[in-house]
Amino acid sequence: MKIQIEAFGIAKDIFGKKHIEIRLQTGCSVLDLKETLMEKFPKFKALRSFAIAVNESYALDTDQLTETDKIVIIPPVSGG
Amino acid sequence: MNRIEIKLLQTDIDPLSSINFVSDERSGGLNVFIGNVRNHTQGAAVLKLEFEAYEPMAIKEMKKIAEEAIKRYDLNKISIQHRTGTLLPKETAVVIAVSSDHRDAAFRASRFCIDRLKETVPIWKKEFLENGAVWVSAHP
């Protein structure tokens, strides 16, 4: 399946753009996505951490993704 | 009665509007935390900051913090305002105002909210220094 990903902060710099499309196996998990990202974009490994938001909430590593999910990369936050 | 106010603004924050929102007849203690831009970090001069937010989720996460703070500290009202965009030193990035019957809960809730905000709300700050720009906290 193809998923669309939106990026903020340093994740946007790592991609060099705000939106990317990634091909993943159907039914893959959030952890699978994180591993794929670290493989394709090794700079993710250097971050303190990064989370995935699915449909505007933090997702668990075990959550399954679908093509219609709104997926956003959340690098370490630094508001306030 | 609406007890929670959450704002994500591209324009100046007015702290008084938060104070007005949380003021009511039963609240004897109000506490206001104001987070301003500092002109230095780890010995280097900071020229400006840029705040970027994943807006719909940032608002949801700030609302969750407000709900949790009301429950934990028995607050009467809470207002959280956060900026996006470019800010200069001395400008206000965040305001958190809380009200409770007595002052102790207000003091404690105020710290809880700003600490939690820095952990969970999807907002990112880029620091512009004399020799370049960095995303704050991105790397260990």
- Encoded tokens for B94: 């965040």
Architecture of domain B4-135: Alpha-Beta Complex (3.90)
Give the other-Cβ count within 10 Å of B57's Cβ.
Answer: 22
User: Taking CB atoms and an 8 Å cutoff, what residues of chain A touch B135?
Assistant: 9-10, 13, 75, 78
pLDDT at B1 over 90: no
The chain A residue lying nearest B96, using CA atoms, is A80
Helix or strand run (H / E) with residue A54: strand A51-54
User: Taking CB atoms and an 8 Å cutoff, what residues of chain B touch A46?
Assistant: 139
* pLDDT tens track for B28-82: 999 999 999 999 999 999 999 999 999 999 999 999 999 999 999 999 999 999 9
Domain range enclosing A68: 2-74
Q: What is the DSSP-derived secondary structure letter of residue B47?
A: E
Beta-bridge partner residues of B93: none
Domain count across chain A: 1
The chain A residue lying nearest B124, using CA atoms, is A78
User: How far apart are the CA of B46 and the nearest CA of chain A, in angstroms?
Assistant: 16
pLDDT at B121 over 90: yes
ipTM over 0.85 threshold? yes
Helix or strand run (H / E) with residue B123: strand B123-129
Cβ contact, residue pair A75, B135, below 8 Å? yes
Domain residue spans in chain B? 4-135
For B84-110, what is the mean pLDDT? 98
Residue A79 within any structural domain of the chain: no
Q: Look at the block and give the residue holding tokens 């937010």.
A: B53
Torsion-angle region of residue B62: left (phi > 0), alpha (psi -120 to 50) or beta? alpha
CATH classification at residue A50: 3.10.20.30
Give the other-Cβ count within 10 Å of A6's Cβ.
Answer: 16
Instruction: Report the distance separating Cα B12 and Cα B14, nearest Å.
Output: 6
User: How far apart are the CA of A48 and the nearest CA of chain B, in angstroms?
Assistant: 5
Instruction: Report the distance separating Cα B108 and Cα B113, nearest Å.
Output: 9
Residue A51 within any structural domain of the chain: yes
The chain B residue lying nearest A46, using CA atoms, is B139
The residue of B13, B124, B125 whose CB has the most chain A CBs within 10 angstroms, and thus the best one to mutate to test that interface, is B124
User: What values do phi and psi take at B21, rounded to 5?
Assistant: -65, -40
A9 touches chain B (CB under 8 A): yes
Q: How high does pLDDT run on average in chain B?
A: 97
Beta-bridge partner residues of B129: B46, B132
